[in-house]
Amino acid sequence: MSSPGMIQGMKQGMVAAPTVQLFMHALQANTEELADLIAQEIAKNPALEEVAPRPAERDADTEKSYDPEAARRHAFALDSQPCGQTLADFLEEQIRHSALTQKVKEAALAMLPYLNRHGFFAEDAATVQSELQLTDTLYRQALGVIQDLDPAGVGAKDLRGSLILQLKRVGEKRGLPMLLLKHHWEALVHHRYAEAARALEVEEEAVQLAAARIARLNPDPGSGFSRAELNVVTPDLSVDFDGADFQISLAGAADPQVALSAEYRDMMAQHADKAEVRQFLSRCFREGREFIRVLANRKDTLLAVTHAVCERQKEFFRKGKAHIRPLKMEDIAEDTGLHVSTVSRAVRGKYLRCAFGVMELRSFFTSGISSGEEETTSAASIQHRIRQLIAEEPPASPLSDADICAALQTQGIRVARRTVAKYREQLKILPASLRKRR
């Protein structure tokens, strides 16, 4: 750690000094909250500056200028929508009850966390495919599955692609609206209808009518669903595992670079003879150095906690979610020498990206249930197995909770029927009587 005394002080339960309070605040902040905290510190301390700007979030909102009035109407409708189900839940439910091979189904489910709140992919295809370790064929199959789901338009890389998908869904594959979207997007966005009409050798009025048709499509397939969990998850950490060693790093905006301003250093030298100015600048630099140390401590703590979690959960990184082991925060506190409350703050709201997708760091902490062997099986692992069993059940003869108990027992896991029912409800899966389909 950059400042062992700060962390050790927390471990011993000492009264938190202002710097320690700031550290605790920064530690429990996720990437977005950290950005706000840094902005606040820079605003009140002119000696601080962010030297490496965060990459701009790729958001489909930047491409909605073709119809501002429609966008305003859509925003009003969105704010008025009292729906509780999230888009992610809706898409996952469709995939799980589809007649897909297990491999394609798992690939499609793994790709869902990469969708942003509009239902568009927040990462390019190469990144998604590489991080999930999908073959070209499997990626294309899973992408096709997602793009065939309701609502129409999900699974595109941007607004333009979403509108194209929506036209294809209703059979309008060759008309003037499709030509505008595919070949004259810039003219459409900037209302240069005469330019598009000349290029397509049609009347300008026809282009205007085609643009009006496009304006009636849904610019935000994620509307109508709860926004509570729809924002694309920005991973705070990236984890690579080669089967033996872990490579863990803070991801992008989660590792901001804040430094003392060179301009204010020069100002201090220029005004060395002015006591009041020198005193003010000295205070700014002192507080600035403390904040930079806080950020360094935060980074070190996050990396240490994540490394300890990964070491304890190696089987997950080798084989997937069914192999998450029981884990307590006390275990990580013991491994790292940190206080349990520090571990809790470190994992709060943090996500890591690995070969199996984007995972909440807290999800690796789970209680265990005796499997009749020396070791216990984690609740998360059992939930994953229940999800798999139901995904593979015959639609006309779904598994009852008792059937699931028996199936788990054949896998060496002894669990009560009421526990299966509880986990099934937590997974938002209907009972067998309501899952039956002919």
DSSP of 270-301:
HTTT-HHHHHHHHHHHHHHHHHHHHHHHHHHH
Rounded to 5°, angle at Cα 434 from 230 and 107: 45
Q: String of b and e for 33-61 (b: at least 16 CB within 10 Å)?
A: ebbebbeebbeebebbbeeeeeeeeebbe
User: Residue 416 has what pLDDT?
Assistant: 80
Helix (H, G, I), strand (E, B) or coil at 248: strand
User: Residue 272 has what pLDDT?
Assistant: 64
Question: Which strand (E) or helix (H) includes residue 52?
Answer: strand 48-52
The conformational region for residue 347 under phi > 0 = left, psi -120 to 50 = alpha, else beta, is: alpha
φ/ψ of 144, rounded to 5, equals: -60, -40
How, if at all, do strands 246-250 and 257-260 pair?
A: unpaired
Asked if residue 300 lies in contact with residue 310, where contact means CB atoms within 8 angstroms, the answer is: no
Burial of 335 (0-12, 13-18, 19+ CB in 10 A): middle
Q: What is the mean pLDDT of each run of 10 residues along the chain (438 residues)?
A: 43 52 85 83 83 47 37 40 67 89 90 85 83 88 94 91 93 91 88 91 92 88 64 76 86 77 73 73 86 91 92 85 80 89 86 85 70 53 80 84 84 78 78 71
Asked if residue 346 lies in contact with residue 331, where contact means CB atoms within 8 angstroms, the answer is: no
User: Residue 277 has what pLDDT?
Assistant: 72
**This model's pTM is above 0.75:** no
User: Residue 301 has what pLDDT?
Assistant: 93
How, if at all, do strands 257-260 and 48-52 pair?
A: antiparallel
CA dihedral angle for residue 240, residue 241, residue 245, residue 247, rounded to 10 degrees = 0
Rounded to 5°, angle at Cα 382 from 403 and 237: 150
Asked if residue 217 lies in contact with residue 166, where contact means CB atoms within 8 angstroms, the answer is: yes
CA atoms within a 13 Å half-sphere pointing along the CA-CB vector of 417: 7
- Distance, first Cα to last Cα, the chain: 60
Q: How far apart are CA 130 and CA 241, in angstroms?
A: 14
E strands of 146-267, at which residues? Answer: 237-241, 246-250, 257-260
